[in-house]
Chain A
Amino acid sequence: DAGVIQSPRHEVTEMGQEVTLRCKPISGHDYLFWYRQTMMRGLELLIYFNNNVPIDDSGMPEDRFSAKMPNASFSTLKIQPSEPRDSAVYFCASSSYNNEQFFGPGTRLTVL
């Protein structure tokens, strides 16, 4: 398996623009997680899905953030409109029944 795939790897955008981050989990994994990592706040769980259904979105910072999982092999995290304070590395991870999470390489987002 290719592991968790994230795209793009780097994204530079201007404040106010819409940003969409993409994730393909490992085949057969039924949990998918979105994290954000910054120097100031460390690793934060934003939202996670089980069998494509959002289970806990309490970590989503505000309404500008939204996440979807239309099928078992694809998820998106959208920020609209983006702000400079959204600059961070965003990770996607997936897991199966035993809690072991496999992380993608991350998307480094810079909002100017």
Chain B
Amino acid sequence: AQSVTQPDIHITVSEGASLELRCNYSYGATPYLFWYVQSPGQGLQLLLKYFSGDTLVQGIKGFEAEFKRSQSSFNLRKPSVHWSDAAEYFCAVGPNGGATNKLIFGTGTLLAVQP
């Protein structure tokens, strides 16, 4: 079955510290991979995406993610967290080609940033 797992429901980091949010997926083939961020009261905004090629992808706001096929993972990282990064983060997977654009979302990781 196709699924996305974000094992950390809630993470707290200190401002300036590094961050890694985990995402594992189960999919029939190499999917398209996405990270979205949702600030309180807002819609989801795309942070970055992986379609093919270089497995380390850069996104907005200083985020990056690495696709590891052998581990079926697409972890999100940031070297130094800012207070404004406090939000909920969603990993999503979708078909690489095919007749549907349907995405499967993880349950999200809520990030709190301590001063």
Interface residues of A (CB under 8 A from B): 4, 31, 33, 42-43, 45, 48, 50, 55-56, 91, 93, 95, 97-106
Proximity string of chain B (78-115) to chain A, C-beta cutoff 8 Å, 1 when within and 0 when not:
00000000000010001100001111010110000000
Consensus secondary structure, chain A interface: strand
Which residues of chain A have C-beta atoms less than 8 A from B49's C-beta?
100
Interface residues on B, range: 20 to 34
Cβ–Cβ contact B101 & A95, under 8 A: yes
Q: Name 26 A/B residue pairs within 8 A (Cβ), A-sorted.
A: A4-B43, A31-B101, A42-B107, A42-B108, A43-B90, A43-B105, A43-B108, A45-B102, A48-B102, A50-B100, A56-B102, A97-B101, A99-B32, A99-B94, A99-B95, A99-B103, A100-B34, A100-B46, A101-B34, A101-B46, A101-B101, A101-B103, A103-B44, A103-B45, A105-B42, A106-B43
